[in-house]
Structure 1
Amino acid sequence: MTQHYDTIILGAGPGGMTAATYASRANLSVLMIDRGIYGGQMNNTAEVENYPGFSSVLGPDLAEKMYQSSTQFGAEYAFGTVLHVQAQEDGSWRVVTDMDEYTTNTVIVATGSDYKKLAVPGEDQYSGRGVSYCAVCDGAFFRGQHVIVVGGGDSAVEEATYLAGLADKVTVFHRRDKLRAQQILQERAFANEKIEFVWNTEVEEILGDDKKVTGVRVHNNVTDEVYTVDAAGVFIYVGVLPVSDVVADLGITNDQGWIKTNERMETSLPGIYALGDVREKELRQITTAVGDAAIAGQNVFSYNENFKLQQQKKIAEA
């Protein structure tokens, strides 16, 4: 028999886990589904310095604390890749994964976002062989060597600073003439003697031999100069894309794939909510995902109460 839940949460990052805490604490039956380990991108973050209650905390440690909190009131967790979310005749939803099928009164989409690629020659070829999107995961492989960071936002500057503690030199290539990162992150990076910034410059190709990355070919978009730079690793931080393919056919995303919601985290479909980094919004942080999740969890409870009353009314009238 297909197992039924009051709410199913797609994703177990900080938002998904917080929503599970709120919903299960309200005595709803809750299932979190994720294709990987709970915690999402927190597991790839060396230090979190802007989460209330902690002056600094390791990303994986914060993920573990959140998971313990999210399951203390009975919420369940399952591995699986969600394939379909389908409407049922009675107003409920069917969630199909590569492992199982479930039904639910409500769905909370908390699938987050993923790293955007440069889409240049050599990027896919050398992925895992010098090309990385996670300094915490792979930085230790490049101790005492020269590495390149591509990007100019918070992630690029944070990870460049982290890598400077391991590598001999870090060169940051940014296609503009100034960074988009928070001022405090910029100040730290500019003060680090191991970090060099190269402005108005884009990576056109990632170079390598039969085994690994050996450097990059870059283009200065002001002077039109093209040249190569030797490096052992290339860390890419050029933005994020929504992980919303699983609900793309439901008509709840904008033209870029971000899910549209109101302030109650409701989408345009009854019983479907979204929160965190997959939402159409300005700021994507752990704290904003957690805030979204508290709102979603409370409103999912209210929706379930009304849904169950309506179902009981239909049975009584039948």
Structure 2
Amino acid sequence: MENYDLIIIGGGPAGLTSAIYGGRAKLKTLLINKGTIGGMVDTTREIVNYPGYIETTGPDLMKAFSDHAKSFGVEFLKDEVLSVDFSQEEKIIKTKKGKEFAAKVAIIGCGSQPRLLNIPGETRLRGNGVAYCATCDAEFFEGEDVVVVGSGDQAIEEGMFIAKFAKKVTVIVLHDEGVLDCNKVSAERAASHPKMNFIWNSTVAEVLGEENVEAVKIKNIKTGESYDYPCQGVFFFVGMVPSTGFLKDSGITMDKRGYIPVSELMETNIEGVYAVGDNRVKYLRQVVTSAGDGATAAVAAERYIDEVNSFNAEVLQSDKKVLLLFFNAMVNESLAFSTLLEELNSELGNEYKVVKVDLATKKILAQKYQIEAAPAVIVLDQGKEVKRLECSMDKESVKAQL
């Protein structure tokens, strides 16, 4: 089993950015990705909203990301992660090809996938008229006829956004006339929108076209009638599916849809495991927000590793008993107690090793020992907690406890 400082699961923009930051921090970093590097972004034919690039393609941008990561010595493995064991400090990751890895930190950036209808032409014309993200692709259909599939909040709201660019937006709805799955406000706005019209009791059975979308085959679910409907683009909004199935028994907290809630540092509920990009709970799913997630998680991961390494060397491997002192550098009383404790230890012939922990910068460690306020002192012997001191400025009282 090969050991790494950092293992990243997923090679989209979030995972790649984590890799760049991890490699630059001199962490031994491995990125595991089961598909094409870049994920969904690799299928985007044009990108015009990534800062610094007036216009580029998804594949070109993702190649730049991966080349950047490789320049810092990041290792890449094309494989699929089947299971993980996050129950211990060392994170274990197993892959489809029978490989097993250990890491101090894991970053989950496996993204999400649009829910597919799996109809003829959908996959073949993806990126050539078939799209799943209005924010990404709507402007490329300026003055054209576009079909939207779906009637939930995302479909109707994104449809109105597409209408800012398209000549006409036709929404294909499974339900009877006037019945939409979205909220009432959006339904009313869409119904009165001059560029939007609806085809009811229908579904799209096929996407038609040679190199680009030319039409869709619409089927009326009540009459069974099918006909070709000319258009230059078709957006599918029938839901997204996070690629987190392999985490089912990992202990990672996920919402009912499979998305991972995280802290502002991209921390999951398991220490040393982070989640970034489209597989986490978030407001906006774009390349730029994914890159931000990746940077945040990698920096947090680097500090976590430093904290663990430092703690192991100073505390768990200490020959002396340790006074683990949690203090607040912004509070004078806390600093005064720190001085008092060191004086006491000196009087005792430095019987103990005093290890200071600033609550403001060592939050993970504070959480581990369930410390909420400073000053607080834990007495450790070979890493095991012996007792906790009652902290006060009464020198004799503290000395008696030692």
TM-score range, shorter chain: 0.7 to 0.9
How far apart, CA to CA, are the structure 1 residues paired with 2:133 and 2:43?
Answer: 19
Aligned to 2:361: none
Q: 2:299 maps to which residue?
A: 298
Alignment correspondent of 2:240? 240
* Structure 1 unmatched ranges of 5 or more: 118-122, 140-148
Paired position in structure 2 for 1:39:
38
Query: 3-state DSSP class of the match of 1:258?
Result: coil
Q: Secondary structure at the match of 1:135?
A: coil
Decide whether the 8 Å contact of 1:49 with 1:56 is kept in 2. yes
Match of 2:167 in 1: 190
1:95 maps to which residue?
93
1:111 aligns with 2:110: yes
**Conservation of the 8 A alpha-carbon contact between 1:135 and 1:162:** no
Which fold has the larger relative contact order, with Cα–Cα distance below 8 Å and residues 6 or more apart in sequence? 1
Q: State how 1:60-139 maps to structure 2 within 5 Å.
A: 60-87=59-86, 89=88, 91-99=89-97, 100-117=99-116, 123-124=117-118, 126=119, 129-132=120-123, 135-136=126-127
Count of residue pairs the alignment pairs up: 282
Equivalent position of 1:216 in the other structure: 218
Q: Specify the SS of the correspondent of 1:131.
A: coil
Contact 1:10 1:32 in 2 (8 A): yes
CA distance in 1 between partners of 2:124 and 2:234 (Å): 5
Shift of residue 152, structure 1, vs aligned partner: 8.8
Instruction: Give per-residue Cα distances to partners, 1:237-278, cap 9 Å, x unaligned.
Output: 213111111222223211111001000000110010001111
Tell me, yes or no, if the aligned pair for 2:133 and 2:235 is still in contact at 8 Å: no
Number of the residue aligned with 2:176: none
**For the structure 1 residues 96 and 289, does the alpha-carbon distance in structure 2 shift closer, same or farther, using more than 3 Å as the test?**
same
**2:276 alignment partner in structure 1:** 275
Distance 1:237 1:171, change over 3 A: closer
- Give the letter aligned to residue 254 of structure 2: T
Asked whether the 8 Å contact 1:107–1:272 carries over to 2, the reply is yes
* Equivalent-residue separation in structure 1 for 2:82 and 2:44 (angstroms): 28
Counterparts of 2:201 and 2:263, CA distance in 1: 37
In structure 1, the residue matched to 2:285 is 284
Residue in structure 2 matched with residue 120 of structure 1 by the alignment: none
Shift of residue 311 of structure 1?
A: 3.6
**Alignment partners' CA distance in 2, 1:80 and 1:252:** 24
Paired residues for 1:191-206 under 5 Å: 198-199=197-198, 201=200, 203-204=202-203, 206=205
**Cα gap change, 1:152/1:261 in structure 2, threshold over 3 Å: closer, same or farther?**
closer
Cα deviation for residue 72 of structure 1 reads 1.0
User: Could you tell me whether the CA contact under 8 Å between 1:276 and 1:292 is conserved in 2?
Assistant: yes
Closer/same/farther in 2, CA of residues 303 and 163 from structure 1, 3 Å limit? farther
Q: 1:216 to 1:77 in 2, by over 3 A?
A: same
Take 2:300 and 2:133, find their aligned partners in 1: how far apart are those partners? 37
Cα distance, 1:306 vs structure 2 = 1.5
The equivalent residue for 2:256 is 255
Contact kept? 1:153, 1:180, Cα under 8 Å: no
Change (3 A) 1:158 1:92: farther
Residues 134 and 162 in structure 2, CA contact (< 8 A), matched pair in contact too: no
For residues 35 and 151 of structure 1, the distance between their equivalents in structure 2, rounded to whole angstroms, comes to 21
* Counterpart residue identity of residue 92, structure 2: R
Corresponding residue for residue 229 of structure 1? 227
Please, what TM-score do these two structures have when normalized by structure 2? 0.62
Whole-angstrom CA distance in 2 between matches of 1:150 and 1:31: 31
What one-letter code is carried by the residue in structure 2 that aligns with 1:228? S
**Distance (Å, rounded) in 2 between the aligned partners of 1:11 and 1:207:** 31
Verify the 8 A CA contact 2:142 2:167 in the aligned structure 1.
Answer: no
Q: Give me the whole-angstrom Cα distance separating, in 1, the residues matched to 2:133 and 2:50.
A: 22
Cα pair 2:121 2:206 within 8 Å, conserved = no
- Residue-by-residue CA offset, 1:130-171 (whole Å, 9 max, x unaligned): 2338532x65xxxxxxxxx69895467467x2996xxxx654
Q: What is the root-mean-square deviation in Å for CA atoms of aligned residues?
A: 3.4
Structure 2 runs not aligned, ≥5 long: 170-194, 208-214, 320-381, 383-402
Aligned-partner residue type, residue 248 of structure 1: K
Measured in 2, the distance between the counterparts of 1:48 and 1:207 equals: 27
Q: Hey, what's the Cα distance between the residues in 1 that align with 2:30 and 2:38?
A: 15
Question: SS where residue 132 of structure 1 aligns?
Answer: coil
Q: Could you say what secondary structure the match of 1:84 adopts?
A: strand
Question: For 1:80 and 1:45, how far apart are their aligned partners in 2?
Answer: 23
Kindly provide the CA deviation profile for residues 95-126 of structure 1, in whole angstroms up to 9, marking residues without a partner as x: 00012110000100000010113xxxxx44x4
- Corresponding residue for 1:142? none
- SS of corresponding position for 2:42: helix
Q: Which range moves more in the overlay, 180-189 or 5-14?
A: 180-189
1:134–1:309 distance in 2 versus 1, CA, 3 Å: farther
**Using the alignment, how far apart are the partners of 2:123 and 2:142 within structure 1?**
14
Task: Indicate if the aligned counterparts of 1:259 and 1:274 stay in contact, CA closer than 8 A.
Answer: yes
Distance 1:50 1:175 in 2: 27
